[in-house]
Amino acid sequence: MNIAVLLKQTFDTEAKIEIAGGAINKKGVGLIVNPYDEYAVEEALKLKEKNGGEVTIISVGADTPDAMRQALAMGADKAISVEDPALEGGDEYTTAVVLAKAVSTIPYDLILAGWREGSAQVAVRVAEELGLPHINVVTKLDVDGGKATATRDIEGGNEIVEVPVPAVITAQKGLNEPRYPSMKGIMQAKKKPIQKLSLGDLGLSADQVAAKVKVQSYFLPSAKAAGKMIAGEAPQAAAELARLLREEANAI
């Protein structure tokens, strides 16, 4: 079973965000593998261990050698990195169209990606671009007999969904426990190939992938006024808090 994993790096959450010249200052900001993508890599490796085949890591538009090496050290076989100056300023549409083309350069039975509270557009868009079904927010996955069966989070519970493969699956926390790369894995990863492609290599022009979203400005949230510390023993403090929530904050 050949599996493509969509992988990206994101800012380290601890990173301090600064705005310079109307854009986010990316200098000196630590990058980490998107935590959800680690679940996707782990699941791909498990399926490979069971069924054979190859795991290919695919990344678009971001400078991701570290993330790719980490996935290769975990056990993925090879990586494809699409980089092109024309991707600067790209949005989820851009990323998805390019990813779909990049995935199409390899044989695949399954595409795994991360799911993130917030945006979560890219993987679903890739599925649509390739004409594939998808299952989002997955915490359990079985692939067998041309079908993928997954348990996914829905509001207030879970549902079990089945789709024919190839399909796109997005990983949610709980799917598995990502392994740590072994020393041997780290050594081997150095020799594994990372193929670099440009838009032209994929037969795409800058126009075809132009962003739909036009960013106007970045700004920092306004600093919050200092809060009130309520002193006193528990009974007085609790009574005072209840009063403030009602009379001052209008919150209850």
Ligand X SMILES: Cc1cc2nc3c(=O)[nH]c(=O)nc-3n(C[C@H](O)[C@H](O)[C@H](O)COP(=O)(O)OP(=O)(O)OC[C@H]3O[C@@H](n4cnc5c(N)ncnc54)[C@H](O)[C@@H]3O)c2cc1C
**Binding stretches for ligand X (CB under 6 A):** 6-8, 34-37, 59-62, 89-92, 95, 99, 113-114, 116, 119-123
Query: For ligand X, which is the closer residue by CB, 121 or 195?
Result: 121
Rg, Å, the chain Cα set: 22
In contact, 98 and 201? CB cutoff 8 Å: no
Among 20, 180, 196, 242, binds other proteins (CB under 8 A): 242
Residues 6+ apart with CB under 8 A from 41: 5, 7, 55, 57, 71, 74, 76, 112, 178
Q: Does 32 bind other proteins (CB under 8 A)?
A: no
In angstroms, the CA 166 to CA 178 distance is 23
Q: Does 145 bind other proteins (CB under 8 A)?
A: no
Residues 6+ apart with CB under 8 A from 80: 56, 57, 58, 59, 102, 105, 106, 194, 195, 197
Of 57-65, 68-76, 187-195, 230-238, the window that binds other proteins (rule: CB under 8 A) is 230-238
In angstroms, the CA 212 to CA 46 distance is 37
Please choose which of ligand X, other proteins, none residue 8 contacts, taking the beta carbon within 5 to 8 angstroms, the exact cut-off set by kind: ligand X
Q: Does 125 bind other proteins (CB under 8 A)?
A: yes
Indicate the residue whose CB is closest to ligand X: 114
Of 53-61, 178-186, 198-206, 219-227, the window that binds other proteins (rule: CB under 8 A) is 219-227
Among 104, 105, 149, 195, binds other proteins (CB under 8 A): 149
Query: For ligand X, which is the closer residue by CB, 52 or 235?
Result: 235
In contact, 38 and 143? CB cutoff 8 Å: no
Query: For other proteins, which is the closer residue by CB, 166 or 181?
Result: 166
Spatial CA neighbour of 9 closest among 73, 49, 68: 68
In angstroms, the CA 55 to CA 47 distance is 9
In contact, 127 and 168? CB cutoff 8 Å: yes
Query: For other proteins, which is the closer residue by CB, 107 or 164?
Result: 164
Element (H, E) at 47: helix 35-51
Query: For ligand X, which is the closer residue by CB, 119 or 250?
Result: 119
Q: Which sign does the torsion angle of CA 41, 47, 49, 52 carry? A: negative
Among 55, 77, 92, 171, binds other proteins (CB under 8 A): 92
Q: Does 20 bind other proteins (CB under 8 A)?
A: no
Query: For ligand X, which is the closer residue by CB, 36 or 108?
Result: 36
Hey, which residues between 152 and 211 contact other proteins (CB under 8 A)? 153-164, 173-174, 211
